A = this chain, B = another copy of it.
Amino acid sequence: MDIERRSGCPINLAMEVLGDRWSLVIIRDMMFGNRRHFRELLTRSDEGIASNILAARLKRLVALGLISKQDDPSHSQKSIYSLTEPSIQLVPVIASLGAWGRRHLPVSEALSIRARLLEEGGPAMWEAFMTDLRAIHITHPIDGANGTIGSPVLDGLTAAYRATLAATRDRDDGGTPQMP
């Protein structure tokens, strides 16, 4: 698998890699929800991605080196998907894109609290988050996938999300967003 390379512009090439409806959403779920198995990405997604599209995107992202795939020793049929260094370095991109979306698009309060914290935390927090992500995705992918080891930064973001979700659940919407 290879990209088209219509030009050597960084923005163009980035859009050839990430310029579709689902790739960055999948990376977001792996990064912030620690979704590491196909089923988790399929069923615990707020947006409801179709299974064939998820399969195609995962295959493509693996081929492009943005995620890696390995067997799960706890279950012969399971695979563990992990972020790689290039996708972990998307943290600043996702942080600024989230900050932009929060300002200009009709976001929900609960789902945007993490974007707010990440923006307020600034580059220092992003670096700490990336260090955590390297531990649970690259250094210890299996323990990271099964929850044996976690991420302090991610725990903080998730706690804030849960708290906001609990506080807003019965007051502003009828839906039931997935717990991370």
Interface residues of chain A, those whose CB is within 8 Å of chain B, are: 3, 5-17, 19-22, 24-25, 28, 46-48, 86, 89-90, 92-108, 110-112, 115, 177
Contact = CB atoms under 8 A, between A and B. Distances in A.
State the main secondary structure of chain A at its contact with B: helix
B93 A11 contact: no
A95 to B, nearest CB: 8
B20 A101 contact: no
A8 B19 CA distance: 20
Contacts of A108: 7-9
A46 B104 contact: no
Contacts of A25: 11-12, 15
B93 A46 contact: no
Contacts of A101: 9-11, 13-14
A3 B14 CA distance: 22
10 contacts: A7-B46, A10-B97, A10-B99, A11-B97, A11-B98, A14-B101, A15-B22, A19-B21, A92-B96, A92-B99
A93 B96 contact: yes
Contacts of A96: 92-93, 95-96
Nearest to A92: B96
B9 A46 contact: yes
B11 A24 contact: yes
B12 A46 contact: yes
Nearest to A11: B28
